[in-house]
Structure 1
Amino acid sequence: MLNNLLERLRANPLALGLVGAGAVLGLGGLGWLAREVTARSETASRPSLLQLLEQVTQPATTPRQPQPRRPAPLPPPRPAWVSPLGRECVDRDPRLRQRLEAELAALPARRQRIPIDPSNYGVRFERDAFGHAIDPTPQVVVLHETVYGVGSALRTFQTPHPRDEDQVSYHTLIGGDGQVIDVLDPGQRAFGAGNSAFNGRWVVTNPRVGGSVNNFALHISLETPLDGEDNDPGHSGYSARQYDALALVLTDWMRRFAIPAAHITTHRQVDLGGERADPRSFDWQALKRRLGALSQLC
């Protein structure tokens, strides 16, 4: 069919000329359309006079510089802690050592774990309230007493406390018979001491309430004897089985976290409010004999 059309155009020179002229006009129209589209595109992308004036009158912007972090406040000055646990490098009682080492090996099976309400503990922070990096590793052990029985302490820990001032917990409780009850893993932050510091150190996680040792401390509490359920300055003291269990738990923590004996302190010592007196009637020599037998003071 196309061959027939070509033969007819060759036979009719006038028709062939008209077709050629139409083709030229068509190509010219396409060229004009392309130039028109290009011109409109360039016009749209070219800034207007108003835009150019705005660019001239706007002030030059500079990159924002990072603001320096506010320094963390230091705790108020107070006398440094002088540990009653001196060096004890002589094994004075081999039988005590043998007995305590055997009990230490059996400690994991002996420990009882009781969960408490999440409102009474938290996570260990890796930055303080001012953005400074801090070490959350346990580095201090704070000794407490329950004042009332272990059961009363557990009920308090298991009760939800929405208000910060009511929240409280320790990592471990030691009953009068030497029972070891863990309520928190050492990796968690117990609320054992409020406004507190140890040897000039605290961590401020909430600027409105001051600093605390909780972020780098482990808390352990001894069950108070019945005659100590009051505000008197002392009581009949803790049992031999409590001192045994305390030495075992402390030895475990000291070995796991490389905590020196000089960093075993009391709630009375770290409390900045001057309101705490625990643990009352504590026998440091009883603890020293046991830690010495376990080679923790040499």
Structure 2
Amino acid sequence: MSTAPQPWWIACAAGGMLALGAVGWLARELSAEPSAGHLRPSLFELLEEVRQPPAAPEPGRRAAPGPPSQRSWQSPLRASCTITDPGQRQRLQRLVGQVQTSPARVQIHPTNFGERFTRDAYGNPIDPTPQLVVLHETVYGIGSAINTFLTPHPRDDDQVSYHTLIGGDGSVVQVLDPAKRAFGAGNSAFNGRWVVTNAKVGGSVNNFALHVSLETPLDGEDEGPAHSGYSPAQYDALAALLAGWMETYSIPAEHITTHRAVDLGGERADPRSFQWSALQQRLQNLGALCRR
């Protein structure tokens, strides 16, 4: 038995009823007041969510990666309030003032330094205040180091700088204002801490570090493990510089370290032949190692 075709007006009426039903449901959804315990979002809210572009990550929402494990820094500097050489103390106190107010200054090329960041590459707030001092050596003469800093280096791998250089005769050259970020240590960390300012190249201590480099003696212009060491005048100037930085930025003696210690690649050995006892004596006589 065949079924007779429905008249066209019946099909239209059925379609109209479905459309009216959908419109009525939509109107109820858009105008409905949320009842107690009713947590389901309205259709209006769902449509608004679809129309909105994805929100940008808020500062601090993405966790920054930590550095790989490394040996903790054990400072060779000991706390002491004993003045062992009053004459040296007076001489170094005068030198502290000279280093802070009248060092020689060089204006290096902008590609070799940067600003200190207040947020890392993941949007997290970071403290740009200097909190660490890293000791280096130039390997070649101080003039060679200055020429390197004056030369433009567009490639990241070639960029390098320190805040201060100390010549073999004790001369102090401020290469970069401490407020700026020197490129003294690339892939580096200190006691499990680094700052990632470029997610593509990993982290570094540069954003919270000060860098000072001692001019290497002539017999150290090679890759040997040691050389004849640094002059008494260099240790004098270094102690005067460090004492000023320690006071200005509240840097503890435990945060004076070496490039060798912070380098994560195991490629750095500087400063070679460094005598911590010579620095200990001078900082102690300056009262910079006295904890009360």
Instruction: Tell me, yes or no, whether TM beats 0.5.
Output: yes
Contact kept, 8 Å, 1:84 with 1:284, in 2: the verdict is yes
What is the correspondence of 1:139-288 to structure 2 with a 5 Å cutoff?
Answer: 139-288=131-280
One-letter identity of the residue aligned with 2:126: I
**For 1:60, which of 24, 32, 47 is the aligned residue?**
47
Q: Deviations 1:126-173 (Å, cap 9, x if unpaired)?
A: 000000000000000000000000000000000000000000000000
Secondary structure of 1:232's counterpart equals coil
Cα 1:67/1:175, change in 2 over 3 Å: closer
- The residue correspondences of 1:89-108 to structure 2 (distance < 5 A) are 89-108=81-100
- Check the 8 A contact 1:110/1:180 in 2, yes or no: no
SS state at 2:203 partner: strand
Letter in 1 for 2:194: W
- Alignment correspondent of 2:288: 296
Distance 1:171 1:67, change over 3 A: closer
Do 1:143 and 1:267's aligned partners in 2 also have CA atoms closer than 8 Å? yes
**RMSD between aligned alpha carbons?**
1.9
In 2, Cα distance between equivalents of 1:202 and 1:232: 29
Distance 2:279 2:148 in 1: 28
Instruction: Name 2:79's counterpart in structure 1.
Output: 87
Q: CA–CA distance in 1 between the matches of 2:70 and 2:96? A: 36
Output the CA distance in 2 between the equivalents of 1:162 and 1:108.
Answer: 31
Pair 60,180 (structure 1): closer, same or farther in 2 beyond 3 Å: same
Partner amino acid for 1:120? N
1:22-41 CA-to-partner distances (Å, cap 9, x unmatched) read xxxxxxxxxxxxxxxxxxxx
Report deviation, 1:109. Answer: 4.6
Q: Aligned equivalents of 1:266 and 1:127: distance in 2?
A: 26
Distance 1:281 1:203 in 2: 29
**Where does the alignment leave 5 or more consecutive residues of structure 1 unmatched?**
1-51
Q: Which digits, 9 at most, give the CA deviation of each residue in 1:224-244, with x for residues without a partner? A: 000000000000000000000
> What one-letter code is carried by the residue in structure 2 that aligns with 1:268?
R
Question: In structure 1, what residue type is equivalent to 2:161?
Answer: S
Report the counterpart of residue 18 of structure 2 in structure 1. none
Amino acid paired to 2:166:
I
| Cα offset, 1:203, TM superposition | 0.2
1:138 counterpart residue number: 130
Which structure 2 residue ranges, 5 or more long, are not aligned?
1-22, 28-42
**Equivalents in 2 of 1:78, 1:273: separation in Å?**
11
Which 10-residue stretch deviates more, 67-76 or 109-118? 67-76
> Aligned partner of 1:164: which letter?
D
| C-alpha distance in structure 2 between counterparts of 1:179 and 1:67, whole Å | 49
Deviation (angstroms), 1:110:
3.8
Give me the TM-score of the superposition, normalised by structure 1: 0.79
Measured in 2, the distance between the counterparts of 1:289 and 1:233 equals: 25
